[in-house]
Amino acid sequence: MTSVRSVTVSSGLSIDRVSGLINEARQVPSPNCDDRPEDAAIDLVVVHSISLPPAEFGGPWIDALFTNTLDPQLHPYFREIHRMRVSSHLLIRRDGELVQYVPLHRRAWHAGASCFAGRERCNDFSIGIELEGTDEDPYEVAQYQRLAAVIAVLEKVYPEVTRDRLAGHSDIAPGRKTDPGSAFEWARLEHELERIA
């Protein structure tokens, strides 16, 4: 019901429509966001993967990257990326923990040059979800379950986010991006979504 401020689904997640925050997520506000274009409908979810340093899991470095506090001294790879001004709305860690960096109604900077169904600049109209992982390492069951829960609650608040409007970063930026990689099983996500429905 659109009049209800907070929308909850059986997945156990709820969205505060005013703040654009998922109540159950750990909040780590990122300055790397701005307003979406006026009247931009939110009708796409982009699935990404990230790990910092590459292929290492569990550290605090993704939070640091998205809050512009990544220390370039700590790893050669950090030296390459620490000046990037990027973010995503959400991150799902290996254990299923949900972290939010940007309110859902704001524009996060996750997609870069991109195109979905003939529309460019996917940041304008999408919600970006990072999975902690690599293109090759199998994602955890807890991550599929949490991702399905997030999509289920997003569908309630943003009815234009339908099942055919879920894309990988590699789908909207082919040739430039490969995440979430061959390790990501869309059929498995589908399965988890059906369990929630």
Question: Known catalytic residues?
Answer: 130
Q: Which is nearer to Zn ion, 105 or 169 (CB)?
A: 169
Reading the block at residue 106, the tokens are: 């704001």
> Interface with Zn ion includes 179 (CB under 5 A)?
yes
Q: Which of 99, 169, 181, 184 binds Zn ion (CB under 5 A)?
A: 169
Instruction: Tell me the window of 68-76, 138-146, 156-164, 178-186 that interacts with Zn ion (CB under 5 A).
Output: 178-186
9: nearest Cα among 27, 28, 23:
23
Q: How far are the Cα atoms of 36, 64, 82, 151, 159 from residue 42, in angstroms, in the given order?
A: 9, 27, 29, 13, 9
Give the binding-site size for Zn ion (rule: CB under 5 A).
3
DSSP summary character for residue 3: T
Q: What are phi and psi of 128, to 5 degrees?
A: -100, 130
Reading the block at residue 34, the tokens are: 């701005």
**Shortest distance (Å) from residue 96 CB to Zn ion:** 20
Task: Return d(Cα 56, Cα 18) in angstroms, integer.
Answer: 36
Reading the block at residue 160, the tokens are: 């234009």
Q: Which is nearer to Zn ion, 109 or 158 (CB)?
A: 109
> Interface with Zn ion includes 132 (CB under 5 A)?
no
Q: Which is nearer to Zn ion, 48 or 146 (CB)?
A: 48
**Shortest distance (Å) from residue 4 CB to Zn ion:** 33
Q: Which is nearer to Zn ion, 79 or 176 (CB)?
A: 176
Instruction: Tell me the window of 21-29, 45-53, 94-102, 155-163 that interacts with Zn ion (CB under 5 A).
Output: 45-53
Degrees (nearest 5) of the Cα angle 58, 9, 97? 5
Q: Which of 9, 30, 48, 98 binds Zn ion (CB under 5 A)?
A: 48
Task: Return d(Cα 160, Cα 69) in angstroms, integer.
Answer: 35
> Interface with Zn ion includes 89 (CB under 5 A)?
no
Q: Which residues bind Zn ion (CB under 5 A)?
A: 48, 169, 179
